[in-house]
Structure 1
Amino acid sequence: MKIVHIAPHLGGGVGKAHAALCEADRQAAEREYVLLEEPRDRRYADEIRETGATVTIARDQQQIHELMAATDIVQFEWWNHPLMCGLLAGAPLPAMRSVFWSHVSGINAPFIPEGLVEAADHFVFTSACSRRAPNLSGLTAGKLERTHVVNSGFCHAGTSAASDREKIGVSYLGTVEFTKMSPAMMDVIDRLEHNDVVVNVWGDVAACSPVRDAIASMTHPDRFQLRGHTKDPLAALSQTSVFLYLLQPFHFGTAENALVEAMSLGCAPLVFANPCELEIVRDGETGLVATSLDHAAQLLNWMLAHPGEVRRMGDNARAEVLELKTPDRSIAAFRALWQAAMLKPKRTPDFAGALGPTPRHWYEAMQGGPGDTDSCSQMGQAASKGSLAHFKAYYPDLDLSPRA
């Protein structure tokens, strides 16, 4: 069984997930990854090659079409990347058995086009929350039931539990930009009742980032400690008991690698009641879920005053993700799915009909409709994947002015 994965690149969480899956897959040599652009970070591509899988950069669409026609299964690593849209909606595709693995939730923009789920032979989400995406409500019950969920955020195995730590520490690790992290972080930290507590914040921050301005405006800016990027998350979180992971309500994450990894280290998370986080954290058992800024501030102060309860939730979190969030479970799920897909003949898909004929159609379909713009652009943040700025980088003539 030969599987060809089509991906824009293998950076970030997608590359990390596939490197772990290939490492756990005894048949990784059956798999080929075709990238639509040169990777900026080759780390995960190199790790994938070491497992026996093949990684190549696509020369042109003709080469990709030939590979699609010759392979048993084509798996598209889906998010709203301009090049992926161009491939799917470009020249007619050959007959294939198609699998999509979505790396965005679709709960908020960027949405997953309903027609894409309909057109795929098998559509896989990374979180069950995606089945509640508002723009998928028109799918037939049967089609939605035939979607799958395969996790892509994996635990750290063989690490120490929170009960081994000397004292309660509070940390955040992840994207330190308001495209994902909530500005409520600053307010919650300002309301700490323990003056000697600081929050270690791990992640890159641009010199001109609005995050730096928000820190400067805090009553207690010294509590928000920017630690920069770390290549060793285990060491960064080694003295952390509370993982303060308060995200924007419109973030498009699904598996949340940082959250799952922190939980596997025995950290008790404090999160907002966003759909994705609710699929990972069980309130009061494996962490705490806040419903508002005020509630988050109350819960963080409560956690600092109840170290025993923090240890209990951290131990529960560790045990749960070590059982459920493993590469072995995910690759077994994919192997079963691929075997089932092989029972059906190849067919010619109409992904172009699902996305529309032009870059404008592709972009608008994933932002909610004509005239809508992405949250990142509205906030003046750097271009993120699938943003208007990202689309314009590949399609400079993209024009979103009102249609006549």
Structure 2
Amino acid sequence: MKILHVAAHLGGGVGKAHSSLVDADALSIRRHYVLLEEPRDTRYAESISHSGAALTIAPDEATLLKLAAAADIVQIEWWNHPRLYRCLCSNDWPLMRSVIWCHISGLAPPLVPPALLTLADRFIFTSGCSLATLSGLDLSPADLRRIGVVNSGFGFPTRQRSKEPPRREGSVSYLGTVSFSKMSRDFFQVVDDAGDSGMLVEIWGMVEDDSEVASVAQAMRHPERIRFMGHAADPARVLETTRIFLYLLKQDHFGTAENALVEAMSYGCAPLVFPNPPELAIVTDGETGFVAENAADAAGRLRWMREHPMETERIGRNAAAHVAATRLPAHSAAAFARIYDDLLASEKRPVDFRAALGSTAADWFMGTQNSTASGQTDWMSLSTTPTKGSLHHFLACCPDDRSLQRLPAVGALSDQAESSHPREAALRALR
């Protein structure tokens, strides 16, 4: 069974998920990955290649379409990356059996374009929380049967864990994206309000000295309670020495399967989270972690967790058992094998991405954004933060697409960056 995967790259959570899936695959499945850009983080691409999957980076159009025609199934690793949009909408694809695995939640911008849900033979979310996006859509029973969920966040294998993790009593860590594009702005207030003179919160992840996160941490009443640790070369070692995983994210963050959270739970860390849908799909309050309603609640719960180590340890054990029972790569590999087997019984058919998603970069970007009740775009709500899939990113990747230059938000973006050329502003922001 030949599966062709088309992805912008294999970094971060997407790369980690596929690295695990390839290792868990049945021998009957042969995977070939096409990456649309050179990976900056090559760990997962190299791991996938070493596991026996084929890898092609930035192929020309003829090579890509030939691979698609030869595959039994074409799987699109979807999130709102401008290069992926261009690839899908600028090519005339051969007949194919198609699966879309969606790596964003769609609960807040970037949204999932509704036409995408029924375009492929199967549309698969990575978290059950995303099923809420179907509410209010005009979907037939047949459409709904084509939509499913396959988890992409996995814990560390049991064999990698120490029998008795050398945890530091009362230790608190965060590991993940160190940016307010993901973290809650209340994170540091919680630490200020919950702490005592002995509390230290280690933050693992890349952060610039002049970043907004670093500035907010420095402005705390007790900045000595925060220590920026930088990139975690060995996340497993960090997690097995941590008792409390402080994972307080913003309400409309872009995550879905939350790899860092699942990995922390697999190591027996007791998580403290806010009640965002992706986290609620993973953590059960009082059983496998704690869910705080707001910053004041989180501060109180964090204080309680440090003062009650035995109860917190019990929660961590529950978390590890839950992940081991529900979030292993073998579970997701088996789910995909069933989807593939089912699709092989059907004929290949045409898929017109251009008709569903549009033909210009402005079409692609605006298809993921909110509109007001009148149907007009709320330009003031568009993020001016240079994150993946943002307007900055589209300007950087699609410099020759004039449709972007006509968007009202581009002028404001250019002014904000003190540049007369929007693309240059975007490129500087993304470096």
With normalisation by structure 1, the TM-score equals 0.94
**Shift of the alpha carbon at 1:225?**
1.0
Is 1:390 equivalent to 2:393 in the alignment?
yes
* Shift in CA distance, 34/135, structure 1 to aligned 2, threshold 3 Å: farther
Secondary structure of residue in 1 paired with 2:240: coil
- How many angstroms apart in 2 are the aligned matches of 1:21 and 1:85? 25
In the TM superposition, what is the alpha-carbon distance from 1:9 to its structure 2 partner? 0.8
Amino acid at match of 1:87: C
Give the direction of change, closer, same or farther, for the CA distance of 1:89–1:135 in structure 2 (3 Å limit).
Answer: farther
Choose between structure 1 and 2 for higher RCO, CA contacts under 8 A separated by at least 6 residues.
Answer: 1
1:6 aligns with 2:6: yes
Q: How many residues align?
A: 400
Give a deviation string over 1:227-272, Cα, whole Å, max 9, x none.
1111101221232111000001111111111000000010010000
How far is the alpha carbon of 1:362 from its aligned partner?
0.6
Cα offset for 1:208? 2.2
Partner of 1:210: 212
Q: Which of 296, 320, 338 is the matching residue for 1:294? A: 296
Amino acid at match of 1:98: S
Give yes or no for contact 2:168–2:243 (8 Å, CA) kept in 1: no
Q: Deviations over 1:307-361 (max 9, x none)?
A: 1221111000000101211111111111111000111111101221221121101
Does structure 2 conserve the Cα–Cα contact (< 8 Å) formed by 1:160 and 1:265? no
Gapped runs of 5+ residues in structure 2?
Answer: 410-431
Secondary structure of 2:139's aligned partner = coil
* Equivalent position to 1:328, from 327, 330, 336: 330
Out of 394, 405, 415, which is 1:399 matched to? 405
Q: Give the whole-Å Cα distance in 1 for the aligned partners of 2:328 and 2:87.
A: 31
Is residue 181–residue 246 contact of structure 1 (8 Å, CA) maintained in 2? yes
Contact 1:376 1:384 in 2 (8 A): no
In the alignment, the residues of structure 2 paired with residue 254 and residue 92 of structure 1 have an alpha-carbon distance, to the nearest angstrom, of 31
Percent of residue pairs bearing the same amino acid type: 48
Q: Report the counterpart of residue 71 of structure 1 in structure 2.
A: 71
Give the drift of 1:368: 2.2
**C-alpha contact (below 8 Å) 2:270/2:312 kept by paired residues:** yes
The residue aligned with 2:427 is: none
2:103 maps to amino acid: H
User: TM-score, normalized by length of structure 2?
Assistant: 0.88
- Secondary structure in 1 matching 2:118: helix
Deviations 1:355-376 (A, max 9, x none): 1121101100012246456978
Change (3 A) 1:341 1:307: same
Return 5+ residue gaps in structure 1 as ranges: none
Root-mean-square deviation (CA), in Å?
Answer: 2.0
Match of 1:112 in 2: 112
The equivalent of 1:235 in structure 2 is: 237
Aligned partners of 2:166, 2:142: CA distance in 1, in Å? 48
User: Separation in 2 of the partners of 1:142 and 1:218?
Assistant: 54
- 2:223 corresponds to which residue? 221
Q: Secondary structure at the match of 1:207?
A: coil
Partner of 1:139, secondary structure, is coil
Separation in 1, partners of 2:19, 2:118: 29
User: How much does 1:148 deviate?
Assistant: 1.4
- Take 1:79 and 1:321, find their aligned partners in 2: how far apart are those partners? 25
Q: Aligned equivalents of 1:376 and 1:221: distance in 2? A: 32
Asked if structure 2 preserves the Cα contact closer than 8 Å seen for 1:109 and 1:367, the reply is yes
Answer whether contact 1:81 1:385 (CA < 8 A) is retained.
yes
